[in-house]
Amino acid sequence: MRTAVIVFPASNCDRDAQSALAKITGRDPIMVWHRETELPDVDFVVIPGGFSYGDYLRSGAIAARSEIISDLKKKVEKGLPVAGFCNGFQVLTEAGILPGALMRNKSLKYICKPQPLTIVNSKSRFTTGYNGQKDVTFPIAHHDGNYYADKKTIDRLEKNGQVVFRYNGNPNGSINDIAGITNEAGNVLGMMPHPERAVDPLHGGTDGIELFKSVLGAL
């Protein structure tokens, strides 16, 4: 099982993602610098959290125009499973791979806390391993997590089962309490919470493990 993590300047949860993937697959992921033009041949790609390019301009906006993104888009269309957590979700929306945008939190403050979530679609490729378990807690840590899309898009996401996670207690003002969505094909997940920080009982709990097992097991 081979995995990769894309690293942008000031990605900073690259190590969190690396540790989680290594722990779950037993094999270190390949760390891919954003200036590369081609992704290595892997089964799953994570776009990590952080502050790519210092969140300057808009969160994720500059990273979404990196060299590596064109190849990422090509492989996404061919069905490569990809997950973006936190800043990774912002990059995916800015790159147009996922719909919508992440605006500043309603409180205008950065917020870091364990966040209860509800798994809305337990049949997605990222949630099958939860076996119907509905409630999980992942840490959140973001300033721009307030998910927004126009009504038509939201209706489509809801209808297609693309809303995978909802906040249980909305921390940031997201429409419909949306915490995580997939693309229409279901191979790309974007979410603000950090499942990669919930794979260790000594650090953030273990609720995130099944997410990785789901996507890797479905391969």
Partner 1 sequence: MSKKIKITPEVVKEHGLSEGEYEIILDRLGREPNINELGIFSVMWSEHCSYKSSRRHLGKFLTTGKRVIQGPGENAGVIDIGDNHAIIFKMESHNHPSYIEPYQGAATGVGGIMRDVFTMGARPIANMNALRFGEPSHPKTKSLVAGVVAGIGGYGNCVGVPTVGGETNFHAGYNGNILVNAMCVGLADQDKVFYSAAKGAGNPVFYVGSKTGRDGIHGATMASAEFDDDSEEKRPTVQVGDPFTEKLLIEACMELMATDAIIGIQDMGAAGLTSSSVEMADKGGVGIEINLDKVPQRETEMTPYEMMLSESQERMLMVLKPGKEQLAFDIFNKWELDVAQIGKTTDTGRLVLKHKRKTVCDIPIAPLGDDAPNLDRPHVPTPQRDVLAASDARPPTDYNDAMLKIMSCPDVASKRWIWEQYDRHVMADTMDSSQSGGDAAIVRVHGTNKAVAITTDCTPRYCYADPVEGGRQVVAETYRNLCSVGAEPIAITDCLNFGNPERPEIMGQFVGCVEGMNEACRALDYPVVSGNVSLYNETNGVAIPPTPAVGGVGLIDDVEKHATLAGAKAGDTLVLIGKTEGWLGSSLYGREVLGHERPDVALFYAPPPVDLASEKAAGAYVRRLIRDRRVTAVHDCSDGGLAVSAAEMAFSSGQGTSLKGHGDVPLHAWLFGEDQGRYLLAVDENSVNPVISTAQSKGLEARIVGKVGGDNVSADGAYDLTLSKLKDANEGWLPGFMAETA
Q: How far is the CB of 113 from partner 1 (least distance, A)?
A: 5
Residue window 150-189: x/- pattern of binding to partner 1, with contact defined by CB under 8 A: ----------------------------------------
Q: Which is nearer to partner 1, 49 or 99 (CB)?
A: 49
**Counting Cβ atoms within 10 Å, is residue 132 exposed (0-12), middle (13-18) or buried (19+)?**
exposed
Binder among 44, 53, 147, 167 for partner 1 (CB under 8 A): 53
Locate 156 and state its tokens.
């489509």
Tokens 């094999």 map to which residue? 27
CB 185, CB 102: distance < 8 Å: no
- Segment interacting with partner 1, rule: CB under 8 A, options 14-22, 65-73, 153-161, 206-214: 14-22
Phi, psi of 54 (to 5 degrees): 65, 15
Q: How far is the CB of 190 from partner 1 (least distance, A)?
A: 19
Asked if 34 is an active-site residue, the reply is no
Q: Which is nearer to partner 1, 113 or 134 (CB)?
A: 113
Restricting to residues 86-115, name those near partner 1 by CB under 8 A. Answer: 109-114
50 binds partner 1 (CB under 8 A): yes
Is beta strand 178-182 parallel, antiparallel or unpaired with respect to 188-191? antiparallel
* Cβ count within 10 A of residue 106: 14
- Total chain residues near partner 1 (CB under 8 A): 31
CB 46, CB 196: distance < 8 Å: yes
CB 133, CB 119: distance < 8 Å: yes
* Active site amino acids: 86, 194, 196
